[in-house]
């Protein structure tokens, strides 16, 4: 009898131990579940930490959050974007609308890229101060923007005053590995590429008909995935006129005064497309050759003696092409990092300038040439 009781007690003790063990495991699982819930809560809290209230970022005091494209400086607490295809890039965690406040002394157009996609609209900045809405009803999250001036430096002096977002600006986009400087005239600046149909007697030199973001220069930079700067003035050349491109090359923008450009970031490649106006205005080959050699030396003094230079010609007229080839040859040719590239002539745009199609063909040729010669190392 005592033996049976002992067996029963042993069985009860064993069952109690098993039950307590099971309860202990269940308690640990509950703790794990609680921990997981706490982790989820932390994650949700982190997401909720983004403040999507409206904020205004003054451009001049937000240079760590804004990438500036093209030659620029700070004027009246704003970032200047006078040159063709100049402007800003930025990234933002936001939702809803994005606005950029612009000051301009005359009307001009802008191209806008949102999340890498070029928008179909042309964004008009009228003379004075205006808030451009460059995006609407964006979903909550990270978005990228590029705002680039279509018009020429002679059309307007323009600056970026502020950016308004429902969210926060992130760190400025990083510089790309390579950087090209394009030096030219109205061709490089995008003269006459915008029109419904060509009509005799129309002035295609106005800002409405200009788009530097559809030129061979911009398209080449896009194809190669590089940063760029455009230094281009319509009607000017190496030698022609009271003021020439070489005479203002050291300036940020001669229209705003004599402030010197820093040349802090050196281009990996310089592309020159000049000679069209010199040829059209009957500058002699002797003078053109002498002034071109001096300009190449000046470019290299500021950017490095070994910087490769490509001289593009033939897009609109003869462009002193014989003289250009002589300049390149006399100064050492490809062995000295100097190249000449003839592209297909196209006068089917406004006022006999290259059309968009002509610019695309030139961009293809220039891009292939740069790759073939391995000029971006």
Kindly state whether residue 43 falls inside one of the protein's structural domains.
no
The CATH code of the domain that includes 121 is 2.60.120.260
pLDDT band for position 164 (cuts 50, 70, 90): very high
| Domain carrying residue 317 | 179-372
Q: Are 249 and 231 in contact (CB under 8 A)?
A: yes
Kindly state whether residue 121 falls inside one of the protein's structural domains.
yes
The distance in angstroms from the start CA to the end CA of the chain is: 97
Q: Are 181 and 273 in contact (CB under 8 A)?
A: no
pLDDT band for position 8 (cuts 50, 70, 90): very low
At residue 23, does pLDDT exceed 70?
Answer: no
pLDDT band for position 33 (cuts 50, 70, 90): very low
At residue 84, does pLDDT exceed 90?
Answer: yes
Which token pair is 197?
């149909």
Kindly state whether residue 39 falls inside one of the protein's structural domains.
no
pLDDT band for position 28 (cuts 50, 70, 90): very low
356-372 and 216-224 helices cross at what angle (nearest 10)? 40
User: What confidence score (pLDDT) does residue 17 get?
Assistant: 41
Based on the fold, state whether residues 215 and 319 are members of the same structural domain.
yes
Based on the fold, state whether residues 91 and 188 are members of the same structural domain.
no
Kindly state whether residue 112 falls inside one of the protein's structural domains.
yes
Of the ranges 3-17, 23-37, 51-65, 197-211, which one carries the lowest mean pLDDT score?
Answer: 23-37
Q: What is the mean pLDDT of residues 144-170?
A: 98
Beta bridge partners of 110: 123, 149
Q: Among candidates 156, 162, 179, which has minimal Cα distance to 110?
A: 156
Among 115, 140, 169, residue at a domain's last position: 169
Kindly state whether residue 16 falls inside one of the protein's structural domains.
no
Total domains in the chain come to 2
At residue 204, does pLDDT exceed 60?
Answer: yes
The CATH code of the domain that includes 328 is 3.40.50.1110
Kindly state whether residue 200 falls inside one of the protein's structural domains.
yes
At residue 183, does pLDDT exceed 60?
Answer: yes
pLDDT band for position 201 (cuts 50, 70, 90): confident
Among 169, 200, 215, residue at a domain's last position: 169
User: What confidence score (pLDDT) does residue 19 get?
Assistant: 35
Kindly state whether residue 276 falls inside one of the protein's structural domains.
yes
pLDDT tens per residue across span 306-336: 999 999 999 999 999 999 999 999 999 999 9
Based on the fold, state whether residues 165 and 186 are members of the same structural domain.
no
pTM of the predicted model, to two decimals? 0.87
Spatial separation of the C-alpha atoms in residues 167 and 170, rounded to whole Å: 10
User: What confidence score (pLDDT) does residue 24 get?
Assistant: 38
Burial status of residue 114 (CB atoms within 10 A of its CB: 0-12, 13-18, 19 or more): middle
pLDDT tens per residue across span 93-105: 999 999 999 999 9
Radius of gyration of the chain (CA): 31
Based on the fold, state whether residues 136 and 114 are members of the same structural domain.
yes
String of DSSP letters for 228-245: EEEEE-TT--SS-SSS-H
Q: What is the mean pLDDT of residues 252-265?
A: 97
Based on the fold, state whether residues 192 and 339 are members of the same structural domain.
yes
Based on the fold, state whether residues 332 and 214 are members of the same structural domain.
yes
Tracing tokens 């003289």 back to the chain, one arrives at 323
User: What confidence score (pLDDT) does residue 14 get?
Assistant: 42
At residue 45, does pLDDT exceed 60?
Answer: no
Kindly state whether residue 19 falls inside one of the protein's structural domains.
no
Based on the fold, state whether residues 78 and 213 are members of the same structural domain.
no
- Indicate the SS3 state at residue 48: helix
At residue 112, does pLDDT exceed 80?
Answer: yes
- Indicate the SS3 state at residue 33: helix
Based on the fold, state whether residues 362 and 231 are members of the same structural domain.
yes
Among 139, 169, 199, residue at a domain's last position: 169
- Average pLDDT value over all residues in the chain: 89
Spatial separation of the C-alpha atoms in residues 118 and 113, rounded to whole Å: 4
At residue 2, does pLDDT exceed 50?
Answer: no
Give the total residue count for the chain: 377
Alpha helices for the chain (secondary structure H) = 2-48, 186-189, 216-224, 245-248, 276-280, 285-303, 321-330, 356-372
Based on the fold, state whether residues 163 and 230 are members of the same structural domain.
no
Q: Using alpha carbons only, give the angle 285, 288, 291 rounded to the nearest 5 degrees.
A: 150
Spatial separation of the C-alpha atoms in residues 184 and 237, rounded to whole Å: 8
Based on the fold, state whether residues 157 and 237 are members of the same structural domain.
no
């Amino acid at each position: 009898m005592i033996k049976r009781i002992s067996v029963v007690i042993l069985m009860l003790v064993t069952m109690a131990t098993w039950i307590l063990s099971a309860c202990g495991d269940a308690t640990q699982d509950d703790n794990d579940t609680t921990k997981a819930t706490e982790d989820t809560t932390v994650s949700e809290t982190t997401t909720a930490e983004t403040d999507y209230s409206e904020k205004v970022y003054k451009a001049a005091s937000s240079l760590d959050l804004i990438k500036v494209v093209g030659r620029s400086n700070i004027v009246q607490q704003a970032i200047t974007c006078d040159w063709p295809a100049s402007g800003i890039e930025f990234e933002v965690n936001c939702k809803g609308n994005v606005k950029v406040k612009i000051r301009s002394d005359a009307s001009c157009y802008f191209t806008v890229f949102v999340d890498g996609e070029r928008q179909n609209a042309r964004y008009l900045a009228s003379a004075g101060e205006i808030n451009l809405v460059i995006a609407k009803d964006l979903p909550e999250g990270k978005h990228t923007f590029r705002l680039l001036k279509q018009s020429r430096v002679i059309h307007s002096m323009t600056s970026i005053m502020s950016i308004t977002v429902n969210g926060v600006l992130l760190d400025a986009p990083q510089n790309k590995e390579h950087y090209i400087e394009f030096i030219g005239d109205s061709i490089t600046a995008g003269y006459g590429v915008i029109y419904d149909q060509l009509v005799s007697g129309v002035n295609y030199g106005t800002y409405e008909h200009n788009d530097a973001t559809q030129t061979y220069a911009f398209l080449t930079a896009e194809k190669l995935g590089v940063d760029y700067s455009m230094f281009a003035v319509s009607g000017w050349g190496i030698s022609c006129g009271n003021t020439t491109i070489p005479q203002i090359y050291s300036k940020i923008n001669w229209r705003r005064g004599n402030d010197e450009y820093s040349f802090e970031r050196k281009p990996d490649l310089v592309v020159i497309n000049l000679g069209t106006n010199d040829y059209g205005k009957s500058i002699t080959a002797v003078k053109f050759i002498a002034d071109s050699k001096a300009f190449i030396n000046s470019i290299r003094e500021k950017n490095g003696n070994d910087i490769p230079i490509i001289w593009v010609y033939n897009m609109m007229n003869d462009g002193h092409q014989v003289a250009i080839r002589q300049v390149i040859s006399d100064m050492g040719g490809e062995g000295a990092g100097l190249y000449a590239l003839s592209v297909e002539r196209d006068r089917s745009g406004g006022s006999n300038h290259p059309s968009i199609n002509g610019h695309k063909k030139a961009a293809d040729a220039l891009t292939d040439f740069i790759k073939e010669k391995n000029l971006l190392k």
